[in-house]
Amino acid sequence: LPISARRQVETFVAGEAIAVGDFVALSFAETADGEKGLVVKKAKSNDTDIICVVGVAIEAATTAETSSDGGTTNDRTKLIKVVTAGLVDGANVDGSTTKGDRLTSSTTAGRAIVATYIGDGSGAAAIDLPQIFAIACEDDAANKALVYVLPQSP
């Protein structure tokens, strides 16, 4: 059976080459404030310009067009569709997943990892809470997984 049409798909401007299955985030590096909510790049946990994950790309973009000031132009040929809520098969993950794993961004651009946290009250050093943006819907070991993208609130 094909993936359910009961999912939310939004269109964004690709700020770089993006593959089908990549987790993407808003690009806070854009010069114009209005573009910060339109341009997406591959999500990466150790880059504060691309940590606000919005979903999984279901279309690919080759390369982004760059303007003279270094920002991404709003070139309509670079539009891609992104699932912002619902099921996606073939999402890029680092390593394996187990059904029910909560996913967060990885240091590998475009991929998600299983989220871990300190919650035992041991007094361990404080850590930033990761953004949980998807849940694995299957056990998978092939770096591709069926996931449910959670809707994100601003």
pLDDT band per the 50, 70, 90 thresholds, residue 71: low
Q: Is the pLDDT of residue 4 over 50?
A: yes
For residue 147, list its beta bridge partners.
88, 136
In three-state secondary structure terms, 36 is helix
pLDDT at 20 over 90: yes
Which stretch of 26-30, 41-45, 118-122, 136-140 has the lowest confidence by average pLDDT? 118-122
- Name the pTM for this structure: 0.83
Q: Which residue has the higher pLDDT, 112 or 78?
A: 112
Please tell me the predicted confidence (pLDDT) of residue 33. 85
Q: What is the pLDDT of residues 98-130, one digit of tens each?
A: 999 999 989 999 999 998 765 556 666 656 667
Interstrand relation of 8-14 and 39-42 (parallel, antiparallel or unpaired): parallel
pLDDT of residue 62: 80
Task: Tell me phi and psi for residue 48, to 5 degrees.
Answer: -65, -15
Q: How many residues does the chain have?
A: 154
Q: What is the pLDDT of residue 1?
A: 44
Residues 35-42 have a mean pLDDT of 90
Mean pLDDT value across the chain: 83
3-state secondary structure of 78: helix
**According to the 3-state scheme, what is the secondary structure of 37-100?**
HCEEEECCCCCHHHCEEEEEECCCECCCCECCCCCECCCHHHEEEEEEEEEEEEEEECCCECCC
Angle CA 19–95–100, to nearest 5: 95
Q: What angle is formed at CA 18 by the lines to CA 20 and CA 96, rounded to 5 degrees? A: 55
Distance between CA 150 and CA 154 in Å, rounded? 13
Tokens (6 digits) for 107? 């240091």
